[in-house]
Amino acid sequence: MAEPVLEVSGLIKRFRKFEALGGVSLKVEPGTVFSLLGQNGAGKTTMIKVLLGILKPTEGTASVLGHPAGSVAARRKIGYLPEDHKFPEYHTGPSLLDFYGGLQGIHRAERKKRIAYWIDRVGLAGREKVRIRGYSKGMKQRIGLAQALLHDPDLVFLDEPTDGVDPVGRREIRDLMLDLKRMGKTLFLNSHLLGEVELVSDHVAILNRGKLVREGGIGELTGARPAWVFGFAREPQVFLQKLKELNVTMIRRDNPGSVPPNQWEIYPDSEDILTVLVRLAGEDAGGLRSLQPHRESLEDVYLKSLGKKEAVSA
């Protein structure tokens, strides 16, 4: 089995009395898209800065590409698109990439070929003479992606890569991420667009106040416990009592104006239990009006992992 591209064990980072990371442990497998989720202040940026060597951990260990996090050997094969990058605005796209390619030690002739390829690949062909001061937010994200990928890294950190990009651009960037994955690259993604994350990610970790509260594959997190939504014309009192007796998990859907008005999200443990529940619902005086399967979205998983108070304040 291949060694993890990234491995963190018992990672703690304190700023005086404030603990930004509280003992986080995780692994990232090669050739996957790994997404780190959490609210602002959850510790995501701190985690990325530790992995890049910008910050040193207070306790714990972190290795990247088989080397200590932050070492020169690790950073040579890392690409990074920060959330709020600031490029010199007097550059054009090609001159910016030429500058960074020189810093990365890419030979001039090779640099020229790679610049032409990536300018085209990120959708900036035909705008080679436009200076960055005239770029839109979406164009700046595109040139940032090209800069992060120019030196052919094995691991790419992408912090909000589709921020400020229009729907067509988001689709193109998403396709690019999947192409990189097919090429064997490993992507470490941080994004608030959970729908985008769900479309591209293999594995997700959720941070809350510096703690890892949930982790797993997309299929595992969103499909581990299939739910069924039972809709009634009136409150199904006998049915609800039976659910408690059978110890079946149930969540009331508080959707004013919904049809039917009384809806319950129910998690049966087996097909046999589901059959029993359907029979009981049909016999209840509440009047069963609808029954449909429900697959949790990543957003559902995320909000439940944070809890109601945190979810409301997001």
Residue 167, pLDDT score:
87
Residue 224, pLDDT score:
56
Please enumerate in sequence order all residues whose Cβ is within 8 A of that of 211, keeping only pairs 6 or more positions apart, or say none. 22, 23, 24
Strand-pair category, 211-217 with 155-159? unpaired
User: Structurally, what CATH architecture does the domain formed by 226-295 represent?
Assistant: 2-Layer Sandwich (3.30)
Chunk the chain into consecutive blocks of 10 residues (it has 314) and report each block's average pLDDT, rounded to whole numbers. 90 94 95 93 91 94 94 93 90 97 95 96 94 93 95 94 85 90 94 87 94 90 77 92 89 75 86 90 91 81 71 32
Domain ranges of the chain: 6-221, 226-295
Residue 57, pLDDT score:
94
Q: Are 201 and 186 in contact (CB under 8 A)?
A: no
Nearest to 81 by CA among 171, 210, 189, 180: 189
State the amino acid at position 122 in one-letter form.
V
CATH fold match for the domains 6-221 and 226-295 = no
CA 165 to chain centre: 17
DSSP 133: G
d(C-alpha 140, C-alpha 173), whole Å: 13
Residue count (the chain): 314
Residue 225, pLDDT score:
61
Positive or negative, the CA dihedral 28, 305, 240, 248 is positive
* Residue tagged 């985008």 (tokens): 196
d(C-alpha 109, C-alpha 264), whole Å: 64
Write b or e for each residue in 153-182: b if 16 or more Cβ atoms lie within 10 A of its Cβ, otherwise e: bbbbbbbbbbbebeeebbebbeebbeebbe
State the amino acid at position 200 in one-letter form.
V
Residue 223, pLDDT score:
67
DSSP 132: G
Residue 247, phi then psi, degrees to nearest 5: 60, 45
Q: Class of 6-221 per CATH? A: alpha beta
196, two tokens: 């985008």
